Amino acid sequence: MKAPWLVTCGVVLVAWNALAAQQRPAIADVLKELRKIESAGYRGHGEELRMQYDAKAKEQVNDVMSRVYSAWCSMPGDDAWNQLKAISPMDPENPWIHLGMARVYARWKGMGDQAKTELGGLLLKDPGFYPAITGQAELALQKGDAAEAAKLFTASLSLGDDPRARSGLGLALLAQGKQAEGRAALEQALAAWPDQPAAQQALFKLLKDAGDPKAAQVAALIVELSPRNREARQTLAELYFAGGDQAKAVQAYEELVRLGNPEAPVLTRLAGLYRDQKNADAEERTLKSLAALEKDNPAPCARLAELLLARGKADLAEEQLKEAANRGPSNAAAWLALGKAQEARGVLYEAYPNYRKAAGLTGDGVEEAKGEVARVEKLLQLPAKKAKGSVDAIYGTVASSLNALFLARKSPGGSIKVRVKVGKEGDVQLVELVEDSVKDPVLAAHVFVALQEAQYPKQKREPVFEFELKGKKGK
């Protein structure tokens, strides 16, 4: 015969379990609360929600579900499992405790068989507990059995509508190659509960590959839920751009850049948008980043030069043009632009070689460069034949042509001093303008170019040529 106290305890336990069962919310209501918890977790508010459940559980010591919800805030980690295990004696038959444990087994511990056992036990006790069927379907999909997963998801949905099960069905259908049906299921699931990352990604890829403009809507959902999702942000920016919404495109590209390590096409597009909006400061900042990223690309440097010139920063602009020309040595337009900047600064002797370099290339700017070469050569009136021979002979040839040009230009008198570094083979290694009190760019360029192109004896030396210009006489 059983002891009376055992009978009493058994009666109390049965009564407690019966009462607990009566107090459990409807399945649909619990699923709604669990979706709320997951959404809060995605947005970083899970801990706040957990504190609310804990406070409620302290106020109502017999409130099992508040404890279950609190545990769900840690899903699917070990902390969630430990909490559920601790709650279990309070309501051993509570299906949500065992469903939570099954999720931890499946998603955190990698114990699919244990999860399957928990889910099977739930359905033996209550075949109508459709969240357990959804769990079985997720296990099947996880194992790659899309057909079985679709069958189970469909069975679950026949017992109760659940966005989680419907998105799972959509994924299972896509895995079977049933794109139309899968898309419909995913769209319906996300309309009911947008915060489902796997469903979002699958539908996004489907729409993006199909060129469907609705991809922008899904990309926006992904970005909202996963702010660091680079692909979604870029697609969203590209779709805004394609749709002509520059303001939203700029914002989306800026957010993409803030993620760090932006790719060159992103910076190029953003710089172009800033240019269209006449936001020179932002364009300049973006072009600098692009130039640093693509060290062989002359385009950002060339555009930076334009912006700097517009701000009156001629010296900085010229540095950018030099960089552009060096990055694109076969780019005639870059050398032409550099030559123009140098001539504008009054150093025609530096501009002329760059005009000639541009004229000898192909592509945009070549014909204009040829015109600049012809114009400058007409201005310079270089010796009919290149100076050659001894240093004195070279000096005499250049002095003669310089004096004629000086008289023709009626420039003030003064002196021009140039140092030439000649190699042992007679090659000109450096020409340096040491002094120029005449301050006539054409005369300085005449001397510079004539000495640069002269033919020197094969002897290493550094002669200094000084030309005194006084009225009708040159020396």
Rama region for 390: left / alpha / beta (φ>0; ψ in -120 to 50; rest): beta
Per-residue model confidence (pLDDT) at position 77 = 85
Task: Read off the DSSP letter of residue 422.
Answer: E
Nearest Cα neighbor of 450 from 360, 352, 371, 342 is 352
- Distance, C-alpha 273 to centroid of its chain: 15
Per-residue model confidence (pLDDT) at position 239 = 85
Query: How many CB atoms neighbour CB 350 within 10 A?
Result: 18
pLDDT tens, the chain, 475 aa long: 444 433 443 444 444 445 555 578 999 999 999 999 999 998 888 999 999 999 999 999 889 999 999 999 999 888 999 999 999 999 999 999 999 999 999 987 778 899 999 999 999 999 999 999 999 999 999 999 999 999 999 999 999 999 999 999 999 999 999 999 999 999 999 999 999 999 999 999 999 899 888 888 898 888 888 888 888 889 889 888 988 999 999 999 999 999 999 999 999 999 999 999 999 999 999 999 999 999 999 999 999 999 998 888 888 999 999 999 999 899 899 999 999 999 988 999 999 999 999 999 998 999 999 999 999 999 999 998 999 999 999 999 999 999 999 999 988 889 999 999 999 999 999 999 999 999 999 999 999 999 999 999 999 999 999 999 986 543 3
Question: Helix (H, G, I), strand (E, B), or coil: what is residue 296?
Answer: coil
Per-residue model confidence (pLDDT) at position 21 = 54
Task: Read off the DSSP letter of residue 461.
Answer: B
Per-residue model confidence (pLDDT) at position 472 = 54
CB 301 within 8 A of CB 327: yes
Question: Helix (H, G, I), strand (E, B), or coil: what is residue 447?
Answer: helix
The residues, ordered by sequence, that sit 6+ positions from 141 with a Cβ below 8 Å of its Cβ are 149, 168, 171, 172, 175
Domain annotation for the chain: domains and CATH numbers: 384-474 (3.30.1150)
Whether the pTM exceeds 0.85: the reply is no
Tell me the two tokens of residue 294.
Answer: 């693509």
Per-residue model confidence (pLDDT) at position 4 = 44
Tell me the two tokens of residue 111.
Answer: 């114990």
